[in-house]
Amino acid sequence: MVVVEDSLRTDLSLAKKDEVARFAQAKFGSLPRSDQRRWAEVYLRGLLLGRGRKSVKRIAEEVLDLNVSQSLQQFINQSPWDWRLVRAEIADEVERLLTPRALVIAETTIPKRGEHSVGVERRFVPSEGRAINCQLGIGLFLAGDQASIPVNWRIQLSPRWTEDHRRRDRAYIPESVRSQQAWQYALDMVEEVAEWGIGKAPVVGDLRHTPDAEKLMARLAELGADFVFEVPDTFQVVPGPHLAAVRPTGFGPQRAPHLLRARDCLRGADVKHRQVVTWTPGANGKHRATHAVSVPVRLPSSRGVVPLQLVGTSWQGGRQKLWLTNRTDLRAAEVITLGAMAERTEADLQDLRAVYGLLDFEGRSYRGWHHHMTLVSAAYTFAKLTTPVSQPVRRPS
């Protein structure tokens, strides 16, 4: 162990005052022990510089050229350092770097073999079109025109994990953690980032496959947060003034609001709500021209009346896309711009999977998963700080 500590001291922070060392010193300063801060730097270097799969064993060998994988594994899986403090530091750095225009919620599946890694379930994954054995991570990204960077994470846990005491103990799941719906995890992250002092920006995401998505929108509206969410064309809303808002009541008790599917609301919109939008989204840079329709609606479940705007687009050879936003003052083009931030984030997620080890965590613990994802965020932040980012997105007109 003395050899390991000597190597850490001489080969890393104390000898190499390079950009990685300075970044690690600033972002991992909340870790209480010096050995934890050095292991964090080792892991960060491995995620940035390692080739192929970023396993703990490979990181230890490539960074230190020593057989210290057991010590590094212990730092990731068992060491009790607080990942939330590190994430707050990363978020502060990202806010300065990007001047974020949106907080993007994005899910990522992490395929796994076996059933012992925390949160693993056999799930149907819409993007795959099939059921796979996987963990489901939910990330919150600070997104600008040029990039998006994850600053917060949650792992979705079913009652199978939270109500089985044996599973909880094996995965080191804290007593305070309970099973929640995906929208509740997303809300938790938004609220936590606000506690870190990150400036307000609209919350953006694709909720087409999120159960009870309207609950997230209603809660965000209550908190005074703006949002732009893609929704399925079957999403039910209460139409605005351009259509009948309620059913005829007669002499009996008042009936429930008249619910329509989002696509039917747009189909009933008159010509004055239609416009042509030409734009280039950030994910692939292909020029797009589309007819956009914007109509007023509201949620059926919200307490009081929360006015919303439903924006729909379609383009030749593609599917219709629908967004709901509580920013009723925005033009359709501006709503589409914000909605496209989710495409930007999906491109960054692919980069995180392919290059920065997002899929490569080998441990089984809840604590280890959060430590790994935090260090992945740190590596991606460093990469964006030190390399030129892509050209800005051309906004719709």
* Helix (H), strand (E), coil (C) string for 35-73: HHHHHHHHHHHHHHHCCCCCCHHHHHHHHHCCCCHHHHH
Tell me the pLDDT of the chain averaged across its residues: 85
CA 199 and chain centroid, separation = 17
pLDDT in tens, 183-234: 999 999 999 999 999 988 999 999 999 999 999 999 999 999 999 999 999 9
Per-residue pLDDT band at 285 (split at 50, 70, 90) = low
CA nearest 325: which of 313, 308, 346?
Answer: 308
Length of the chain: 397
Least confident of 22-36, 181-195, 248-262: 248-262
Is the per-residue pLDDT at 101 higher than 90?
yes
Task: DSSP for 5-19, please give it.
Answer: HHHHHHHTTTT--SH
Sequence letter at residue 311:
V
Q: What pLDDT is attached to residue 250?
A: 43
Q: What pLDDT is attached to residue 4?
A: 44
Dist CA 80 CA 247 (whole Å): 57
- Helical residues (DSSP H) of the chain, grouped into ranges: 2-11, 19-27, 34-49, 56-64, 69-77, 83-98, 159-162, 165-171, 182-195, 213-223, 262-267, 332-339, 341-355, 366-386
Least confident of 69-78, 167-176, 188-197, 262-271: 262-271
Q: What pLDDT is attached to residue 51?
A: 80
Whether the CB-CB separation of 273 and 284 falls below 8 Å is answered with no
Is the per-residue pLDDT at 13 higher than 50?
no
- Going along the chain from its start, the domains and CATH numbers come out as 1-81 (no CATH), 84-352 (3.90.350.10)
Whether the CB-CB separation of 288 and 280 falls below 8 Å is answered with yes
Q: What pLDDT is attached to residue 30?
A: 96
Q: Residue 227 is encoded by which pair of tokens?
A: 């949002």
Dist CA 129 CA 293 (whole Å): 30
Dist CA 136 CA 143 (whole Å): 21
Phi, psi of 301 (to 5 degrees): -100, -5
3-class SS of residue 363: coil
Q: Residue 159 is encoded by which pair of tokens?
A: 């009652």
